[in-house]
Amino acid sequence: MHEMTPPPGATAPVFYEREGHAHEDGGTLLGFWLYLMSDCLIFAVLFATFGVLGRNYAAGPAGADLFDLRLVLVNTGLLLLSSITYGVAMLEMDRLRVERTLRWLAITGALGAAFVGIELFEFGHLIHEGATPQRSAFLSSFFILVGTHGLHVTFGIVWLATLMAQVRRRGLVPENQRRLMCLSMFWHFLDVIWIGVFTFVYLLGAMR
């Protein structure tokens, strides 16, 4: 009466996986999305700060005295165009066309750099006129909110240049595709934040 040993696998439970894989990319894109959502909360706090302090001019200049809406409109156009060119770059990436992807990414980076350049010009102009962050609560909250967005775009450009070098070196391998998809979300996300900035800060601010 010896104990029977079943062959391996005969009695072992078999699990059937009926659902498709939810995270085909290992969860990177979902994780990056969660990062963007936390970034969104940073901007929410900065918007709330601006909402509370945005009308405290301390007898200094108000938005209506300072803002040049034509410049803001140009900047909005640049960022919107860069969103579209990044989208086209992603479509070219889908077709695995390295050169075209790189070309559209370069255009995107140039548009982003132009955006940051105009914003720095605006900041320089404001500071030259004495509208420094120390001047009033309005200007403090203005510079921290718009500056944080500009800093994000700047880092986005650095990231873009890094990825272009990676793609040039390794081609559109799956890792690089994943990275480009993360940056794509980041870039479009910054455009969404900018909608809030030009509406709440510039348009509503310019009306008094």
List residues binding other proteins (CB under 8 A): 8-9, 11-25, 29-30, 33-34, 37, 40-41, 44-45, 47-49, 51-52, 57-59, 69-70, 72-73, 76-77, 80, 83-84, 87-88, 90-91, 93-94, 174, 177-178, 181, 184-185, 188-189, 191-192, 195-196, 198-200, 203-204, 206-208
Nearer of residues 165 and 204 to other proteins, judged by Cβ? 204
Closest CA to 160 of 133, 141, 179, 137: 179
CB of 198 to other proteins, least distance (A): 8
Distance, CA of 38 to CA of 86 (rounded, Å): 23
Run of H or E including 83: helix 69-94
CA distance 48 to 55: 12
| Choice between 67 and 123, CB closer to other proteins | 67
Looking at beta carbons only, is 159 or 200 nearer to other proteins? 200
Rounded Cα gap, residues 179 and 159, in angstroms:
10
Report the residue number, 66 or 93, with the smaller CB distance to other proteins: 93
Query: In the complex, what is the shortest distance from the CB of residue 184 to other proteins, in angstroms, rounded to a whole number?
Result: 7
Which residues, other chains included, contact 198 with Cβ-Cβ below 8 Å and sequence gap of 6+? 72, 75, 76
Beta carbon of residue 1, minimum distance to other proteins (angstroms, whole number): 21
The owner of tokens 């156009």 is 77
